[in-house]
Structure formats: C-alpha cells, structure tokens
Structure 1
Amino acid sequence: MPHPDQPLTNDDEEEDLLDDEEEDLLDDEEEDLLDWASIATLYAVGYIRILADAIERGDADLQVDPVAWENTLTAVEGVMVEHIRGRLHGPTAITAEDVQRMRRLRGLGSAALSGGERSPELCPLALQCMESLFGPDWKRAAREAVFYARALNQEFHPRSGT
C-alpha cells in the first residue's frame, strides 16, 4: 500500500480490487448462512405449531411429514448452536438449555409422527421452543410460519385426496 500522499499505481488498484472481492466472498458466505438460518427457523416454527395444534385438538392426522420434521428441527438446532457460538444473532439470546429443549421436542414429535406416544409434554415444550426462537413475538411469527410450512409440506409431501 503506498503512502497516502503518493498516487495509486495499477498494482495498488489491483490489490484493492482483490481485497474487495475477498470481502464480498465473506459477505456472501455470511449472507448464505443467514438465509439458511432464517429459512430453517421459519419452517421449524411452522412445523412445531402445526404439530402442537394437531396434537392439542386430538387430530388423527398430525399434518407434518416425519422426514420434514426431523430434517427441519435438526437444522434449527444447528442454527441455535450458531447463535451460541456468536456467528448468528436473532431476537433472543439462545442458550444451551434452549438447544436441549429443541432436541427433546424433536424426539417427542418424531415419536408422535411415527404413531407412538403423543406426550402431554409436547405442547408446552413447543411453546417454550417457539418463544426461545422469537421471544415475545413468537405467536405472530408462528402464524406466518404455518402458512409457509403447510405450502412446503404440500409441495414435497402431498397427501392423496387433500
């Protein structure tokens, strides 16, 4: 880098361009991580709300594909870990206990979706997990997320006759 009073040479300009490109790559990586985290969180909250509501109503059809549930909740656990590591930031401070609750919810939901026990713990745990992701605004976020999760679930896991 030349002294501030010296004019830039072609080599200096090329070096500046390379530095800008490296910064853009980091920005793209961070942007991709943020996009992935936002989408995973959105769909996870949607599936959590759909499943909890169906269990609360006593529906025979829990309305969530088991594979979608497992993949999405595993992804959101990863997002939560990235929050703890400081790579992501959101509306709440995620703790290790929040990640453990999400893992517990994933397990309870998987059991219910495979025809096993519908634990009475699932619904209160679902509310805690949604709040840990969105804070006091979790209800609004969940309503919006349900719309997107239902659409995605229908697109990739259509049900016959519905």
Structure 2
Amino acid sequence: MPHPDQPLTNDDDEEPLLSEEDEDLLDWATMTTVYAAGYIRILADAIERGDAELQVDPVAWENTLTAAEGAMVEQMRGRLHGPTAITAEDIERMRRLRELGSAALSGGERSPELGPLALRSMGSLFGPDWQRAAQKAAFCARALNQEFHPRSCT
C-alpha cells in the first residue's frame, strides 16, 4: 500500500475504473454542468437586479444549456450519476429555461418565470447545496466568458 502522501497509481495488472469513453463522458458532463449552472446564476442575478446588460454571451448560453440537457439525458439513462436523480420533468424545465434565457439575451421578453425556473434547474443539477455550487460555477463561467467573449462581460 502506498504512503498516504503518495498519489494512487493504477498498476498495469489492474483494470481502469472507467473506460476512456466513460471518463471523457464524465469530464464533459462535469464541465457542462458547472458552466451551465454558472451561466444560469449570472443571468438570473442580472435579471433580478434589473441590469440592462445580462452578462452572458447568447451563443455560450445556447450551447452550454443544450449540452446540459444532453448530460441530464445521459444521467436519466443511467450512463452518468450525479447528486440528484434526473427526471424527464427536470430536462423539460432546463429546455424551457434555455428558451426563456435565449429570448432575454436576444433582447426579447424577460419572463417572470425565468427566475424561479433558474432556481429549480440549479436544484436539479446540484441538489440541496445548489447555492454554494452555483456561486462557484458563476465564477468559472465569468472567467470563461471573459476569456472568449471579453466585450460581453462587465
């Protein structure tokens, strides 16, 4: 057994815990969920404050929330596991949130449904500790947005 300060290694005789494909899927789903929660938090906070600038790039929103829906489908099918059990209603809620957010980001209506829907969607992604997770995710999403879309951030 290795010393506690030594990293765990996988001996050549042992099978990996996850296949490379499953590991890639898990990495993709993790990053998707983090950035989706970040963008959801940023958008919901900006709408709640009444900000003129919603601080999320519309293309990043659309792509990330579409990917989050896909990750939720994979979780519902049993290929992924997360902190909550995803249902078809959770996926439909995320789809509705994506649509309402896209409308708001394109200068359309800022639906009063968006805020409560955002909160329920983050709860679906992270469970009861969604607030802390969403704050950290928003930090990551702002950093990513600044790197790729510097003019869309404040």
TM-score tier by shorter-chain length is: 0.7 to 0.9
In the other structure, the counterpart of 2:19 is: 27
Q: Deviations over 1:18-63 (max 9, x none)?
A: xx7xx65x61111110000000000000000000000000000000
Matched, 1:69 2:61: yes
In the other structure, the counterpart of 1:155 is: 147
Q: Deviations over 1:111-149 (max 9, x none)?
A: 000000000000000000000011101001001001100
Would you say how many aligned residue pairs link Structure 1 and Structure 2? 143
| CA RMSD across the alignment | 1.9
1:83 to 75, 81, 100: 75
Alignment of 1:2-13 (within 5 A): none
Alignment of 1:1-162 (within 5 A): 27-159=19-151, 162=154
Q: Which runs of 5+ in 1 are unaligned?
A: 1-16
Q: Find the residue that maps to 2:107 and give its secondary structure.
A: coil
In structure 2, relative to structure 1, the CA distance for the partners of 1:160 and 1:42 (3 Å cut) is closer
In structure 2, relative to structure 1, the CA distance for the partners of 1:121 and 1:79 (3 Å cut) is same
C-alpha contact (below 8 Å) 2:37/2:138 kept by paired residues? yes
More helix by percentage: 1
Give how far 1:160 is off: 7.4
Q: Which runs of 5+ in 2 are unaligned?
A: 1-11
In structure 2, relative to structure 1, the CA distance for the partners of 1:51 and 1:160 (3 Å cut) is closer
Q: Quick one: distance in 2 between partners of 1:79 and 1:160?
A: 26
Runs of 4+ in 1 over 3 A off after TM superposition: none
Q: Quick one: distance in 2 between partners of 1:36 and 1:128?
A: 22
Give how far 1:161 is off: 9.1
Q: Quick one: distance in 1 between partners of 2:35 and 2:125?
A: 12
Structure 2 letter corresponding to 1:104: R
In structure 2, relative to structure 1, the CA distance for the partners of 1:80 and 1:160 (3 Å cut) is closer
Query: Identity of counterpart residues, as a percentage?
Result: 79
C-alpha contact (below 8 Å) 2:145/2:152 kept by paired residues? no
Q: Quick one: distance in 2 between partners of 1:160 and 1:150?
A: 10
